[in-house]
Amino acid sequence: MALQQALNFIHVLKSRSADKGRNDNDLPDIGAISEVGKNEGFQFTIEELRQAHRFDWQMRLSAKLSQDD
């Protein structure tokens, strides 16, 4: 369940970043990102956040590849 919270948090961050015109390169290190999530009520470990990040990119790549077909 914590992995799902980490994925949800990533989507929240991406939405906020897009609204402010930021990209992924503007984000601080993973420890700082994890702390932001905890401060906002999300519960996940740094390792779960890393796993969620990998899943997020895999899903985006799959979506991109299926659009290109």
Residue type, 14: K
Residue 59 has pLDDT above 70, yes or no: yes
**33: closest CA among 61, 60, 18, 14?**
14
Identify the domain containing residue 61 by its residue range: 2-68
* Mean pLDDT computed over 46-51: 92
Q: Compute CA distances 35 → 8, 21, 23, 41, whole Å.
A: 15, 22, 19, 10
Distance CA 39, CA 61 (A): 30
Q: Is the pTM of this model over 0.75?
A: no
Please report which confidence band the pLDDT of residue 43 belongs to, taking 50, 70 and 90 as the band edges.
very high
Length of the chain: 69
Residue 14: what pLDDT?
A: 80
Domains: count for the chain: 1
